[in-house]
Structure 1
Amino acid sequence: MSRRVDGVSVCIVRLMRVDGREIPVTGSLLQPLTRRTSDIIRVVLAAIGVGVVVAGSLITRPEWLALERSVSKIVDFLSQDQSTMVYLVYGMLILALPFAILIELVVRRQWKLLAGYAAAGLLAALALSITGAGISTPKWHLPVPDRFDTFLAQFLDDPRWIAMLAAMLTVSSPWLPVRPRRWMWFLLLMFAPIHLLVSSVVPARAMLGLVVGWLVGAVIVWLVGTPALEVPLEAAVRVLARRGYTVRAFRVDRPAGRGPLLLATEVDGPESELVVEMYGKNQRSFGAVKQLWRWITFRSSETAPLHGSMHRAVEHRALLGIAIGDLGMADCRQVAVAGLDRGWMLYAHTVPHGTPIQKLSAQVLPGVWRSLLRLHENQISLGDLQPGNVRVHQGDTLFGGFAAAEFGASESQRQTDIAQLLVTTTSLYGKHEAVSAAIEVLGESTVVTAARRLTKSAMPTGIRKSVPDWTKVMATAREEIREQTGHDRIQSAQLTRFTRNQIIQLVLLFALVYVAYPFFSQVPTFFSQLRTLNWWWALLGLVITALTYLAAAVALGACADWVVKMRYLFLEQLANTFVATTTPAGVGGLALSVRFLQQAGMTTMRATAAVALQQSVQVITHVVLLIVFSVVAGTSTNLAHIVPDATVLYLAAGVGVGLIGAFMFVPKLRRWVNQSVRPQLTEVLGELADLARDPIRFSLIVGGCGAITLGKAFALWVSVEAFGGGTDFVAVTIVTMIGGTLASAAPTPGGVGAVEAALIGGLAAFGVPAEIAVPAVLLYRVLTCWIPVALGWPIMRWMGEKEMI
C-alpha cells in the first residue's frame, strides 16, 4: 500500500488500529540483526557453565557425590511409594515438556521458529552423541516395561534428552510468554532437587546435558538473532494521548539497533510533529555493559553514577533536558517518558529547532563558547558535543542530546566538554578560528588545561563518527593551542585508570614471573652449590656483563649516528633486556629500541633501519666468530653433541625453502615483501655500504657486536671457573654461540629453559661434570639475564616517565 506525501510516493508498512482509529506506520519496524549484548552475555555464561561442570566432574566429583548423599539423607522424608510417585509424575512432565513448547509455538503461530526449534534439539543431542567410536544413538526403549518409572528414567537421566530440552527452551524462550517460559525453566531445572528428594545422586551427565543444551541454544540465538520483538506502538499512542497529543501517523527515521527506534510522529496538539525515541531490551543490556566498562576502565572522577535500569537512564536524560531548557539553551522540549509493554521505554520530545552550526559561519563561535560557559557556571556538563547537538536559533546557542549530560558536573567533566567542542569547531571552521574564539571567551589557562584532554578517551563515539579524521583534528587543535598560548608542550591528561604503558608493563611483569618460574625451581640446588663458589670469579663475570651492555650501547649509537647520549643508550640496553626476556624471540627488545630512537627524533624508517643494521652486523659477526673459533678448536673437538642431527637440519632447510616459495608465489606475501620488507632491506644494505666506507664507524659497530658475543662467552667461562673449571675458553665460546643460537629459536620468552638446557648439554659435551656445569650455567644466567632484568624494570619505568620510550 502506498500514498502521496508532498508529491513523493512512500511505502506504508501497515495500518495500526488503536481505539477505533487507523494510524499509518511508514517504514520498517523490524529491528536489524545485530549481535545483541544480552545474547553475547548468554553465550559467555553458557560457556562458563560448561567449563564449570566439566571441571567439577573431573576434579571435585567425589566431593560432590558425598555432599549429595548427605543432602539426600537430610531430605529423605518420603516413603518408597511416595518417592516412586514423585519420580513418575516428574518424569511424565519432562517427557511432555518439548511437546508443550511445540504446542505453545503453534498456538502463537510462530511458524518460522519451528526450524530453529528442531535444529537446536538435534544439534544438542548430536553434540552429546559423538564418541571416540563414532555417533552413539539414543537407546530409549519405547515399550513400557514392568515399572513405568524405570521407563521414564531413561529420559530423565539421559543427557541427550536434557540437552534437547534446554536447547529448544533457550531458542524458543524469547517468543514464549513470560509466565509459561518461567514455569518451563522451573520444571527443567527441578530435575536436580527431584533426584535428591527421592534419595538418589544427580547424574553428572545430566548436568552436562543441561549446560551443553543451554550453550547450543544460546549460540543459535546469537547467530540467528533474537526476535524482532513487537514494538508497542499502541501503548505509545495512548501515552501521548494522555499528554494531549493525538497521533496521526508514524514514520520510521531509524530502526532500532545499537541506538533507539527513532520515529517522526505527526500529531494534533500544541505541536504538529514530535520525535519519539523507543528503547528496547537490547539498549538496556548494552547500556548497562557500557556503563560498567567505563566504571572499570575510567577514573572515578571521569564517570557518572551508574544507572540501575533503562528507565532511570532515559529519565535522567529527560530531566537534564528540562534543566537545560529552564536556562533557555535546550533545542527541544521534553514531552513524555514512560515505560511500555515488553520492556520498552518511550522518550518523546519536540523537533529540535534552530540551525545546526555546520551550516553557519565562524561568527557564531563566541556565542557558542559563552553558552557553554554559562552551562558550566550552572554546574551542567553535556558530555557529547558533536556537531549535530549544537544549534543556533535567533542568535542563541541551543544544545541537544543530553544522553551523557550531568548535573553537578565535576571540573574534569567540564574540561572534557571544552575539549570536545574544540574538536567539533576545529573540524568545521579551522584551527585558528576555533582556538581563538575559545581563548577569547574562556581565557588561556582554561583552554590549555582543557587541551590536555584532547585524547581518544575523552572523545565519545558520536564525535568519532561525525567528525572526519578526528584524530588529526585533535592533534591540529592541540598544536594550535600550543602556538597561540606559547606553551612548549601540553601533557595529555590521564582519564583511564591505567595508561597504555602501565598495561604493557603489567603484562610484561606477569610474563616475567611466568618465564622465571623454571629458574626459581632450581634456586635451592644453586644455593647448595654456592659454598664452592669463588666470589672473585663471579665479580669478574659481573664486570664483563656490564661491559657487554656498554658494547651494545656503542654499537647502537654508531648505527644511529649518535643521536642519543651514551649514558641513555646504556640505560636503554638494560631496559631492553627486561622487555626481550618477557617477549618471545626478543621481539619486544627490538621494538623498544626502535621506539627509543623515534623519541630521540629519528623517523620510523630511519630508526628501524638503525636497529636492523645493528642486528644484521650482530648476526654476521656472530657467524664469523663461530667459524673462526670452530677452526681454532680443531678436529679434536666433538661438536656432534650440540649440533642437531642431519635429519633435523634437512627438515629445517626444507621448511626454509618452503617459506621462500610461499613468499614468491603467494600474491599477498609477495606484495608485503615488496612494500614493507624490500625498502627496509634496501636501507640496511645501503647502510652496510656506507659503513664499509667509514672505518671509524665500521670499527665501532663491528667491535661492539663482537664484544657482545665474546663477552657472553667470557662470562660463561668465568662462571665455570668460579665453580672449579674444567674446559678452555675456546670450547666455552663454541658452546655459547652454538647453544645460544639454537636456544634463541625457542618460543619461550627470553629463551628461558631452552638456553639453560643447551648450555648445560654443550658443557657436558666438552667434558664438564654436571656438578660444575649446572651451577655454572645458573650463575651465568644470573649475571647476564636476571640481574639486568631486575635493573631493567625500574629503568624502563623511569624512561617511560621521561617519555624516552
Structure 2
Amino acid sequence: MRVDGRDIIVSGSLLQPLHRRTNDILRLTFALVFLVVIVTSSLVTRRDWVALERSISDIVGVLTPTQSNLVYLVYGIAIMALPFVILIGLIVTRQYKLLGAYAAAGLIAILALSITANGIAAPRWHFDLSDRLNTTLSQFLDDPRWIAMLAAVLTVSGPWVPARWRRWWWTLLLAFVPIHLVVSAVVPARTLLGLSVGWFVGALTVLIVGTPALEVPLVGAVRALGRRACTVSALRVVRPAGPGPLVLSADCMDGDSSAVVELYGPNQRSGGALRQLWRFLTLRNDETAPLQTSMRRAVEHRALMAIAVDDLGLSNTRTLAVAALDRGWTLYAHSEARGEVLSRAAPVAAAWTSLRGLHEHQISHGDLRAVAITVSDDTALFGGFGNAEYGASDTQLQSDVAQLLVTSTALWGAEPTVTSAIETFGRDAVLDASARLSKSAMPQRLRQSVPDVKTVMSSARDEVKGQTGADRIRAETITRFSRSQLIQMVLLVALVYVAYPFISTVPAFFSELSTANWWWALLGLAVSALTYVGAAAALWACASEKVNFRNLTIMQVANTFAATTTPAGVGGLALSTRFLQKSGLGALRATAAVALQQSVQVITHLTLLVFFTAVAGASANLSHFVPSTTVLYLIGGAALGIVGTFLFLPTARRWLATAVRPRLSEVAHDLVELASEPKRLALIVLGCGATTLGAALALWASIEAFGGDTSFVTVTVVTMIGGTLASAAPTPGGVGAVEAALIGGLAAFGVPAAIAVPSVLLYRVLTCWLPVFIGWPVMRWLTKNDMI
C-alpha cells in the first residue's frame, strides 16, 4: 500500500467475515411491523382505504387515458428492467455468492403471495379494479407479486451495492404509489401489501446470509497515526473484524516502536447499543453506565479513561490517537500492554492495592477479568476501560470489589483473597461488596472467564462470612424487577387466563343463585376452609413438626393460588418447598417432606377411591366411568410400549437408574420410617383424608344448596374420579376439565343438569376461586415477611 509517497507493507487478511449487524435485526423488526400494519389496516379498514384512495385519485388524477397509458408504458418498462439491472450490477461487482440469496428472496416473495386455498395461483383481492388501465405492462404495476419480488431483491442486494444505486432503485420502486393515483388507478393498497411482504422476506434473507463489512480505510488510519508521531512502516493484521474491531499491529519508524491499532467500522459495535438499552431497561439506574449515543462516543470514552488512569500510573497502555475516518470508521491506537497477564505467580495484594488507587480517585473499572490486568514490577496495571467510569458511584465501586473477589479467588483461593481484600478496603466495604457475589450482579463476560464460577462465588462468600463474623449475606437486588415480582406477574396473568372461562358463565350462574339455600353454601365454605387445616396438618407432620403450624395453615391459602395458576399444580409444590426452607429446613429435607406428603396423599386418595367405589357399586351403576374394552386395550398397549421403550433405550435406562430410582427409594424409605411412628402416620393420613373428603363434602353441600337429592357416597365417588380424570388436563388448576368431569359424573348418577351445573360452579367458587383471589394478597404478605 502506498501512502503519501511511502510504501507500507500490509500483512494478513483484511477480508471480514459476514456477520449479523444490529441494523439487520432492526430492519427485520421494522419490516415485520410494517407488514402487520398493512395487513391489519387492509382487512379492518379496507372500505376507508378505498374511499381515501378514490378521493385522492379524483383530486390528482388529471391525466387523460392516452397520457395514462404512456405513463404506464414508460414506468412498466423501468419496472420490468429493474431486477435485471440489479442482477447485472451484482455480477459486475463480482458478488457471486449473493446470487443464491437474490434468487431465493425473489422466489419466496412471489410464492408467499401466490398461495391460495386451491393451491398456488394469483390471489384475488377485495379491491375494485374495474377502472384499471388495460395494458400488458400495467399487469406488472398492479400485481403485488412483482412488487414483492422487486422489494425482496432490492433489500437483499442493498448492503452489497453503492448507496447511490440503492437510493435510486428504491425511489423508482416506490414511485408506483403516486403514479397509480395520478393515472386514476386505485390499487396502492394492494401493491403496498406486496411491498411489505417483499421487504420482510428480503430482510429475513439478509439476516440469515449475513452482510458484508465495509472497505477498510487504511490510508486514513496511517495518516492519523502520522499526526501523532508514529510514522507507520508496516501493518500486520492481528485479528480480523467481526463482532469486535479490526486489530492491527503498526510498526512505527519514530516514537514508539510499535502500536496497537483498533479500527471500528460503522456496524462493528452496533450490537453494543442494544446491549446498553437492554441493561438500562432491566437493571436499576445506579447499575448502568450512561448510554453512549454512538460507537464513536464509546471509543472516545475508552480512550479518555485510559488517559485518566495512565496519569495515576495504573494503566498498562498509553493512548496514541483517536480519529474519525472515512465511511464511518473510527480509529483508536494505543501502545502495547505492559507487563504479564495476572496469574498465580504475582502477589495477591498487588491487584487489591492498585484497585484501591483507582477508587481513591473515584474511578471504577467495571471489567476486572484476569486478562484485563497485567503485573509489572509487582504492580498491577489495568487495561480495557470499555466499562470504566470517572466519578463512579458507590454501587460501581462495590461491583469492582466483588469482581476482583471472584477473579482473585479463582487464582489464589478464597482465604488469601478475602484476607488481602479486608486489609486493603476494610471489613465493612468487603462485606457490602460480597452481597454482589451472585449470578445477576456479576457481568456475564466475567462469569465466562472463570471456570466453575458458581463454586468460586460460593467459596468467596463463605470466606467473607467466616472472616467478618457475619451470620448471613443477603444477595443484592440489582434488577428493576426481582425474581419474585416476575413470578407474581406471571401468576397474575395466568390467573386472568384461567378465570376467563368462569367469567363467561357468571351471568347464568348469578341468575341461579336466587334459588340457592345459603345455609348449605355457608356449610360448604366452612368445610372448604377446614381442608386447608388438614393439608397443613399433613405437611406439618411430614416436616417433623419443626415449622409454625399457624403460618403453615396460612401458607396453604397462598398455595391454592400458586397451584391453580400453574399447570399440574407445580407452583403449589414449589411454594411449599420454599416455605419449609424459609422456616429453617434444608433444601433436601424440605423437598423430602413435600414429596412424602404428596405420596401419602396419592395413597390415601386411591384407598378412599377404591373404598367408596365399592360402597357405591352396590347401589349405583358405575359403567359410565369405565372405559370401553377397546380403550382399555389401547391404554394397556401404550403403557407396554412406553415400558418397552425405556427398557430398550440405554439413555432411558440410565435416566431411570440415576434420576428416578434414587428418588423413589428415598420416598419408600420415608414411608417405611413413617410406618414405625403410628401417631405421626395417623396425623398425616387424617390430614390427607380431610383434604379429599372435605372437597367431596363441599360439593355435596353445594348440591343440597340447589335442592339436589343424592348421597354423600355418590358425590365422593364423582369428586375423586372426576378430579383424577381432570388432573391430566393441561390447563392451570384443571379449569374446564374439572367442571366438565364433575357435571358429567353427577349426570351419570341421575342429577339433573339444571342442578348439577350451578352446583358445580358454586363448588368451584367455594374451593377454588375464592381461595385464589384471597391467596394473591396472602402470598404478597408471606413475601413481605420473608416466609417464602
Scaled by the length of structure 1, the TM-score of the pair is 0.91
Q: Which moved more, 1:404-413 or 1:562-571?
A: 562-571
Q: Cα deviations across residues 16-44 of structure 1 (Å, max 9, x unaligned)?
A: 44444443333333334544433333334
Equivalences for residues 67-82 of structure 1 within 5 A = 67-82=52-67
Q: Distance in 2 between matches of 1:261 and 1:97?
A: 36
CA contact (8 A) 1:420 1:458 kept: no
Equivalences for residues 214-613 of structure 1 within 5 A = 214-358=199-343, 360-362=345-347, 364-365=349-350, 368-394=351-377, 396-600=379-583, 602=585, 604-613=587-596
- 1:93 maps to what in 2? 78
Gaps of at least 5 residues in structure 1 are: 1-15, 140-146
CA contact (8 A) 2:562 2:572 kept: yes
Q: Which amino acid aligns with 1:229?
A: L
CA contact (8 A) 1:88 1:149 kept: no
Q: Which amino acid aligns with 2:368?
A: L
Gaps of at least 5 residues in structure 2 are: 125-131
CA contact (8 A) 2:148 2:194 kept: yes
Give secondary structure in 2 for the equivalent of 1:230. Answer: coil
CA contact (8 A) 2:243 2:269 kept: no
Aligned-pair CA distance for 1:359: 5.4
Aligned-pair CA distance for 1:115: 3.0
Give secondary structure in 2 for the equivalent of 1:277. Answer: strand
CA contact (8 A) 1:251 1:264 kept: yes
Q: Distance in 2 between matches of 1:30 and 1:674?
A: 53
Q: Cα deviations across residues 684-730 of structure 1 (Å, max 9, x unaligned)?
A: 22223333333223222222222111110001111122232321211
Aligned-pair CA distance for 1:150: 1.6
Q: Distance in 2 between matches of 1:645 and 1:60?
A: 53
Give secondary structure in 2 for the equivalent of 1:586. Answer: helix
Q: Distance in 1 between matches of 2:239 and 2:584?
A: 49
Q: Distance in 2 between matches of 1:74 and 1:520?
A: 52
Q: Which moved more, 1:490-499 or 1:689-698?
A: 689-698
Q: Distance in 1 between matches of 2:696 and 2:63?
A: 80
Q: 2:756 aligned with 1:773, yes or no? A: yes
Q: Which moved more, 1:750-759 or 1:462-471?
A: 462-471
- 2:676 maps to what in 1? 693
Q: Which amino acid aligns with 1:23?
A: I
Q: Distance in 1 between matches of 2:759 and 2:14?
A: 75
- 1:143 maps to what in 2? none
Q: Which amino acid aligns with 1:407?
A: Y
Give secondary structure in 2 for the equivalent of 1:248. Answer: strand
Q: Which amino acid aligns with 1:375?
A: L
Q: Distance in 1 between matches of 2:495 and 2:715?
A: 28
CA contact (8 A) 1:362 1:429 kept: no
Q: 2:64 aligned with 1:58, yes or no? A: no
Q: Distance in 2 between matches of 1:222 and 1:667?
A: 40
Q: Cα deviations across residues 597-626 of structure 1 (Å, max 9, x unaligned)?
A: 444555555544433332232222222222
Q: Cα deviations across residues 64-97 of structure 1 (Å, max 9, x unaligned)?
A: 2233223333433444444443333322221111
Q: 2:706 aligned with 1:723, yes or no? A: yes
Q: Quick one: which of 150, 172, 181 aligns to 2:135? A: 150
Give secondary structure in 2 for the equivalent of 1:346. Answer: strand
Q: Which amino acid aligns with 2:772?
A: V
Aligned-pair CA distance for 1:740: 1.5
Aligned-pair CA distance for 1:642: 5.0
Aligned-pair CA distance for 1:784: 1.0
Cα separation, partners in 2 of 1:96 and 1:743, compared to 1, 3 Å: same
Q: Distance in 1 between matches of 2:696 and 2:41?
A: 51
- 2:194 maps to what in 1? 209
CA contact (8 A) 2:240 2:246 kept: yes
- 2:127 maps to what in 1? none
Q: Distance in 1 between matches of 2:695 and 2:664?
A: 28
CA contact (8 A) 2:441 2:476 kept: no
CA contact (8 A) 1:248 1:268 kept: yes
Q: Distance in 2 between matches of 1:359 and 1:240?
A: 37
Q: 2:166 aligned with 1:174, yes or no? A: no
Aligned-pair CA distance for 1:178: 0.9
Aligned-pair CA distance for 1:257: 2.5
Q: Quick one: which of 648, 658, 662 aligns to 2:645? A: 662
Cα separation, partners in 2 of 1:112 and 1:545, compared to 1, 3 Å: same
Q: Which amino acid aligns with 2:406?
A: V
Aligned-pair CA distance for 1:400: 1.5
Q: Distance in 1 between matches of 2:194 and 2:647?
A: 50
Q: Distance in 2 between matches of 1:594 and 1:656?
A: 31
Give secondary structure in 1 for the equivalent of 2:331. Answer: strand
Q: Quick one: which of 622, 630, 634 aligns to 2:617? A: 634
Q: Which moved more, 1:35-44 or 1:575-584?
A: 35-44
- C-alpha RMSD of matched pairs (Å): 2.6
Aligned-pair CA distance for 1:539: 2.4
Cα separation, partners in 2 of 1:690 and 1:468, compared to 1, 3 Å: same
CA contact (8 A) 1:54 1:208 kept: yes
CA contact (8 A) 1:605 1:680 kept: no
Q: Cα deviations across residues 488-512 of structure 1 (Å, max 9, x unaligned)?
A: 1111111110112211111111110
Q: Distance in 2 between matches of 1:741 and 1:203?
A: 58
Q: Cα deviations across residues 321-362 of structure 1 (Å, max 9, x unaligned)?
A: 222223332221112222223332221111122333325433
CA contact (8 A) 1:551 1:704 kept: yes
Q: Distance in 2 between matches of 1:221 and 1:461?
A: 29
Q: Which moved more, 1:107-116 or 1:197-206?
A: 197-206
Aligned-pair CA distance for 1:547: 1.7
Give secondary structure in 1 for the equivalent of 2:566. Answer: coil
Give secondary structure in 2 for the equivalent of 1:670. Answer: helix
Q: Distance in 2 between matches of 1:112 and 1:18?
A: 32
Aligned length: 781
Q: Cα deviations across residues 507-559 of structure 1 (Å, max 9, x unaligned)?
A: 11111011111112222333333333333322222221122112112222333
Cα separation, partners in 2 of 1:787 and 1:228, compared to 1, 3 Å: same
- 1:12 maps to what in 2? none
Q: Distance in 2 between matches of 1:23 and 1:654?
A: 78
Equivalences for residues 3-152 of structure 1 within 5 A = 16-136=1-121, 150-152=135-137
Aligned-pair CA distance for 1:657: 3.4
Aligned-pair CA distance for 1:802: 4.6
CA contact (8 A) 2:707 2:755 kept: yes
Q: Distance in 1 between matches of 2:243 and 2:194?
A: 34
Aligned-pair CA distance for 1:408: 2.5
CA contact (8 A) 1:642 1:739 kept: no
Cα separation, partners in 2 of 1:138 and 1:624, compared to 1, 3 Å: closer
Q: Which amino acid aligns with 2:686?
A: G
Cα separation, partners in 2 of 1:187 and 1:653, compared to 1, 3 Å: farther
- 1:142 maps to what in 2? none
Cα separation, partners in 2 of 1:656 and 1:610, compared to 1, 3 Å: farther
Scaled by the length of structure 2, the TM-score of the pair is 0.93
Q: Distance in 1 between matches of 2:631 and 2:348?
A: 75
- 1:5 maps to what in 2? none
Cα separation, partners in 2 of 1:128 and 1:392, compared to 1, 3 Å: same
Cα separation, partners in 2 of 1:666 and 1:42, compared to 1, 3 Å: farther
Q: Quick one: which of 148, 171, 181 aligns to 1:163? A: 148
